Amino acid sequence: MNAWRHFLTAIGVLLVTHALTVWALPRVIMWRVMTVASAETSVAGTFLPPPTDHTARRIVMPSPDLLYATCSFSLRDGPVRVSFDGHYPRYWSIALYADNSDNFFVTGDRNATDQPRQWLVSTANQAASAVDRVAERRITAPSDRVFLLMRLLVNDDPTVLADAERARHSLRCTRTAES
């Protein structure tokens, strides 16, 4: 009888440990990433880290062939408008992550036109009237906190670097007037 009690206790501890690891760890990691990113954002709501070198680890396994831009924002006070110039001729992508590290939206150069891109990021619970007044594409976030990661492919050509910097600086994450 005592052996069964120890066995069941061990199974219970393993199940709780597994559940906390699978559920809590991604949220803790994203909380830390979003907190640091929020503290370093500009007026446009973005953070533009310097080009990657061998010491960079702000973004996990960064590539020196990519320039990055990030936004971290809360949707508790209303929707956030994300805009990007869209005029970058090489590879680029924008990905949105929920507070549990799930990727819920990705777009890039392959499915984009050469027009400025605009999205309205909101939660499912936010008032439809505020969202319906805008013409952008609506993206429904599964959480109140969102992390945006933009990647732009670059090389050593100064023209390419200048184009990438222009595109990166065109990224905006701003609170909407409707909120």
Instruction: Show me where the domains of the chain are located.
Output: 1-179
* Owner of token pair 């500009």: 42
Residues 6+ apart with CB under 8 A from 90: 109, 152, 153, 154, 160, 163, 164
* Owner of token pair 């990030």: 70
Global pTM exceeds 0.85: no
Q: DSSP state, 135?
A: -
CATH class of 1-179: mainly beta
Residue 108 has a CB neighbour count (10 Å cut-off) of 13
Do 116 and 168 form a contact (C-beta atoms < 8 A)?
no
Do 79 and 121 form a contact (C-beta atoms < 8 A)?
yes
Residue 37 has a CB neighbour count (10 Å cut-off) of 20
Do 144 and 74 form a contact (C-beta atoms < 8 A)?
yes
> Can you give the pLDDT at residue 171?
93
> Can you give the pLDDT at residue 179?
44
Distance between CA atoms of residues 127 and 172, nearest Å: 23
Residues 6+ apart with CB under 8 A from 52: 59, 62, 63, 64, 66, 68
Residues 6+ apart with CB under 8 A from 48: 42, 68, 69, 168, 169
What is the residue-level pLDDT of the chain in tens, covering all 179 positions? 788 888 888 888 888 888 877 777 777 777 776 676 666 666 557 777 767 666 666 556 677 889 999 998 989 988 999 998 878 889 999 999 998 889 999 998 887 666 678 889 999 888 555 555 555 688 999 999 999 999 999 998 999 999 999 999 999 999 876 54
> Can you give the pLDDT at residue 178?
53
Distance between CA atoms of residues 46 and 12, nearest Å: 44
